[in-house]
Structure 1
Amino acid sequence: MDEAEPFTYDGGRVDPGETQNVRYTVSETYLGDPVRMPVTIINGERPGPTGFLSAAAHGDELNGIEVVREVAHEWDLGELAGTLVCLPVLNVPAFLAQERYLPIYDRDLNRSFPGDPESTSAKRMAHRVFRNFVAPCDFGLDFHTSTRGRTNTLHVRADMDDGPVARVAKAFASNVIISSEGPSGSLRREASRMDTPTITIEMGEAHRFQRPLIDSALDSVRSVLAEFGMLDTEVVRWPGWRTVIENHDEKTWIRADAGGLVDMHHERGGLVYEDEIICTIANPFKTDSTTVRAPFTGLLVGVLENPLVYPGNPLCHLVHLDERTLRALERSREEPVFSANPEHPPAR
């Protein structure tokens, strides 16, 4: 039987059976003081794969921070097989400023991976994170939220044409998976290209903890760890219903054609039918209004939170539901069901 191995990074080593909380230097301030990223590494006594959980690549996206912290510091991981690398705050400067992007030149850390030690500040930081804590892993879960002023239902973004990535995505057991490689420089795309299959989890809105979403994500993290044999628990591959969005014509951002104040008629995660009114936009006097209708039957995976728009501003993100998925969703909202076996979903 193979023996558990130490996890090593520049300047440190975590032996089997050991947990370390590290403040790892990723950059420096204008005063030359170190910028330190919190990292918790749990190396189980039993051999197994290595996975990473990351959050706050955008500094104002907080839901994932709580997911990663709870796994690292509240779960009983005494029987863990393998190693968990927990990165609750990737973008420390943006987190401290409570901004989305790095305050230095407004750069997006999540377009800077795998990084470059001789390039911009963002790419240098990305390089240190990627080389030490991402590249050594066998899979990864990267948690995000919507940008400020909007909110997302919990869903996965993953390249479903990549078999190892699809395995992670299915084990996470979300109802909605949007399939794509991801933007160039994003953590999930660059990690997956370098043999660390990684998915993005979108959940909720910026600047807050949303407990129901956090709890749901924690259940799915447990399912992924079970899939890779790291925890002895059930894998929930089938969440009752699922839609995988693979084509551009199966999803759309619906944008405002008029400026004004928005009355949204549906919440995040709402089901809307073709030609149903999603929202209305009116001027301050309510003397002129515009109705916005669904171009097809689908699920609102993202909706506006800030009710003020200019023409062209996004109102909602709608993904298509085929007839079979629609019926399964309608039934699940009457009586939610779950199955651990993707080949045998619950009978109706």
Structure 2
Amino acid sequence: MDDAEPFTYDGGRVDPGESQNLRYTVSETYLGDSVRMPVTIVNGERAGPTVVLTAAVHGDELNGIEVVREVAHEWDLSDLRGTLVCLPVLNVPGFIAQQRYLPIYDRDLNRAFPGEAGGTSAKRMARRIFSNFVEPCDLCVDFHTSTRGRSNMPHVRADMDDEAVSRLAHAFASNVIIDTEGASGTLRREASDAGVPTITVEMGEAHRFERALIDRALSGVASVFAEYGLLSAEVVHWPGWQTIVDGAEDKTWLRADTGGLVDMRVSRGAFVEEGAVICVIANPFKTETTKVRAPFDGLLVGVLENPVVYPGNPLCHLVNVGARTRRAIERNRGW
């Protein structure tokens, strides 16, 4: 086996057998103070892959923060083969403001990768993160939640045409994988294009910790570590059933045709049959109601949590699944 190597970044180094907690400067405030991102690096004594776990590229998406923190600070990593880089809060200004985007010009940090040293504030920050802590790695798992007012069942988004990415997606052992390349500028797309296979893990809703989903994601990380040999004592997890959805064809966000208050009749992760009532939209007096029905048999990957809508607002994300998956869902209720 090759000897373990140090992990280096601009301004620092972590040798084999060492770990380091640091706050890395990624930008500056209006007053010229440093904007510092928390980073934990654990370099095992034995050689192995370098894995980076990232969360909160959108500042209000909190579930992934706890996943990354627990792996970094609560797991026994004394037998780690390889290197673990943990970035629990990528979007520090957004996290402090508890909003999705960078407060500076309301820019989306997850459309700024791989970044540019002389670019916008978002691209400069993205470049500091990407070049120091993502590009040197062999794998990346990027944790997200739905945006505010909506909730996602746990699922993976990955470019399944990329063999290395597909392996990582299967290793995380999610029930649902949505097969998409990812938008230009996203961490997932740009890291994969740079030779760092990356998946997005979606789970839950913004502005909260959801313990059951955090635990499920921790199981997925353990499964990835087992697949790539980072922790030899662990075993690869099998979720009981798994379906891959073609994200290029799946555009089925059901939207409201009327404004009003929404009574959601089903929860995320539920299987619904064609014609079943998913929700009812009513005016304040309940004198006018609209029933929203499933256009086909499908799985509710995402649902509305904020019960007020304008016409055109999304109500739920419904995906097609086969008969075999349907039977498996019925045997394994959850999410």
The TM-score, its normalising length taken from structure 2, stands at 0.98
Alpha-carbon distance in structure 1 between the residues aligned to 2:12 and 2:249: 48
Q: Which residue of 1 aligns with 2:63?
A: 63
Q: Which residue of 2 aligns with 1:73?
A: 73
* Correspondence list, 1:320-339, <5 A: 320-333=320-333
Q: Is the 8 A contact 2:151 2:204 kept in 1?
A: yes
Change (3 A) 1:16 1:242: same
Q: Which residue of 2 aligns with 1:111?
A: 111
Q: Is the 8 A contact 1:245 1:251 kept in 2?
A: no
The CA deviation at 1:240 is 1.2
Q: Which residue of 2 aligns with 1:287?
A: 287
Alpha-carbon distance in structure 2 between the residues aligned to 1:112 and 1:225: 28
Alpha-carbon distance in structure 1 between the residues aligned to 2:87 and 2:249: 35
Alpha-carbon distance in structure 1 between the residues aligned to 2:246 and 2:95: 33
The CA deviation at 1:149 is 0.4
Alpha-carbon distance in structure 2 between the residues aligned to 1:173 and 1:294: 27
* Correspondence list, 1:1-348, <5 A: 1-232=1-232, 233-236=234-237, 238-333=238-333
Q: Is the 8 A contact 1:51 1:139 kept in 2?
A: yes
Three-state SS of the structure 1 residue aligned to 2:188 is helix
One-letter code aligned to 1:63 = N
Alpha-carbon distance in structure 1 between the residues aligned to 2:173 and 2:242: 8
Q: Map Cα deviations across residues 90-122 of structure 1 (whole Å, 9 max, x no partner).
A: 000000000000000000000000000001000
Alpha-carbon distance in structure 1 between the residues aligned to 2:153 and 2:203: 6
The CA deviation at 1:250 is 4.0
Three-state SS of the structure 2 residue aligned to 1:140 is strand
The CA deviation at 1:314 is 0.3
Three-state SS of the structure 2 residue aligned to 1:72 is helix
Tell me the matched-pair count: 333
Alpha-carbon distance in structure 2 between the residues aligned to 1:59 and 1:329: 32
Three-state SS of the structure 2 residue aligned to 1:274 is coil
Alpha-carbon distance in structure 2 between the residues aligned to 1:87 and 1:131: 13
Three-state SS of the structure 2 residue aligned to 1:333 is coil
The CA deviation at 1:247 is 4.8
Three-state SS of the structure 2 residue aligned to 1:67 is helix
Alpha-carbon distance in structure 2 between the residues aligned to 1:91 and 1:249: 31
Unaligned runs of 5+ in 1: 335-348
Q: Is the 8 A contact 1:56 1:91 kept in 2?
A: yes
The CA deviation at 1:249 is 4.0
Alpha-carbon distance in structure 2 between the residues aligned to 1:296 and 1:234: 37
Q: Is the 8 A contact 1:251 1:320 kept in 2?
A: no
Q: Map Cα deviations across residues 290-328 of structure 1 (whole Å, 9 max, x no partner).
A: 010001111111100100000000000111111121122
The CA deviation at 1:146 is 0.4
Q: Which residue of 2 aligns with 1:337?
A: none
Three-state SS of the structure 1 residue aligned to 2:153 is strand
Q: Map Cα deviations across residues 15-54 of structure 1 (whole Å, 9 max, x no partner).
A: 0010100100000001111100000000001100001000
% identical aligned pairs? 73
Change (3 A) 1:42 1:159: same
Three-state SS of the structure 2 residue aligned to 1:327 is helix
Three-state SS of the structure 2 residue aligned to 1:96 is helix
Three-state SS of the structure 1 residue aligned to 2:224 is helix
Alpha-carbon distance in structure 2 between the residues aligned to 1:204 and 1:330: 21
One-letter code aligned to 1:309 = V
Unaligned runs of 5+ in 2: none
Q: Is the 8 A contact 2:180 2:248 kept in 1?
A: no
One-letter code aligned to 1:210 = E
Three-state SS of the structure 2 residue aligned to 1:21 is strand
Q: Map Cα deviations across residues 36-75 of structure 1 (whole Å, 9 max, x no partner).
A: 0000000001100001000000000000000000000000
Q: Map Cα deviations across residues 143-177 of structure 1 (whole Å, 9 max, x no partner).
A: 00000000111000000010000000000000000
Q: Is the 8 A contact 2:179 2:248 kept in 1?
A: no
The CA deviation at 1:248 is 4.1
The TM-score, its normalising length taken from structure 1, stands at 0.94
One-letter code aligned to 1:109 = L
Three-state SS of the structure 1 residue aligned to 2:252 is strand
Alpha-carbon distance in structure 2 between the residues aligned to 1:247 and 1:46: 39
The CA deviation at 1:239 is 1.5
